[in-house]
Amino acid sequence: MNAVRDAEDLIAEGAAAPVDGWGFDWLDGRATEERPPWAYARLVADRMARADAALDVDTGGGEVLAEVPSPPKLLTATEAWPPNVEVARRTLRRVGATVVAVAPDGPLPFRDGSFDLVVSRHPVRTDWAQTARVLRPGGTFLSQQIGPGTMRELSVAILGPLPPPTQRHPEHAVAAAEAAGLRVVDLRRATLRAAFFDVGAVVWFLRKVIWTVPGFTVDRYRAPLLDLHHRITAEGPFVAHAERFLIEATRP
């Protein structure tokens, strides 16, 4: 009875905590995830220091862009989730960026050849034709993306057995980039260990990273959440693996 009550308290805590922006500070001490070896933020900072006009697509709360030490003269970001737009505008004042609210899956609202650098961390979907269109000749697209079957162990723990992943394969991204007229100059992959120390952390993560369990709600998945709590209590942290890939392409 105590274990169930403890689980309910943790679940309620994870369900009540805010998930605005794209920071994961709430998980400090409750979950860990390895970082990719290529240091995406450092790569972005290096490219930004050499750019005249740059665009960050799907900026989230602007967390990565805000840390750029030498922003270009023209710096723009797009965001489609309304709660994140205002977060990003506050966060990105320090680097002088303009945040543009866009419609999900809508075209990029910029003229052809507007930017010599486009970046995107964990985009919901990359529109390769639009990316190529807004890039200047010689411009660069740099993106860290979610790989196939990311956090699959967690998805299976909540949903049950799943078929092999069919989306987000790096090879598909390369083919789409080349079909849009871009030339891929770098492609790297990484599998990263993630550990959840309590079921509240799992709930918060699933509310934020919505593609892990599409349509997730606590009420709908309370039974597997309670099972996961008992598993963590008996066996220790729940371990899953995040899949990431880095892709860099240029417009000839």
Q: What is the side-by-side strand order in the sheet with 98-101?
A: 31-33, 183-196, 238-250, 135-146, 115-121, 53-56, 74-79, 98-101
CATH number for the region 2-250 comes to 3.40.50.150
Single pTM value for the model: 0.89
Q: Note the pLDDT tens digit of each residue in 137-177.
A: 999 999 999 999 999 999 999 999 999 999 999 999 999 99
Q: Is the pLDDT of residue 5 over 80?
A: no
Residue position matching structure tokens 């190529």: 132
CA 94, CA 82: separation in Å to the nearest integer? Answer: 21
Q: Note the pLDDT tens digit of each residue in 109-134.
A: 999 999 999 999 999 899 999 999 99
Domain residue limits, the chain:
2-250
The token pair at 181 is 């007229």
CA 84 to chain centre: 13
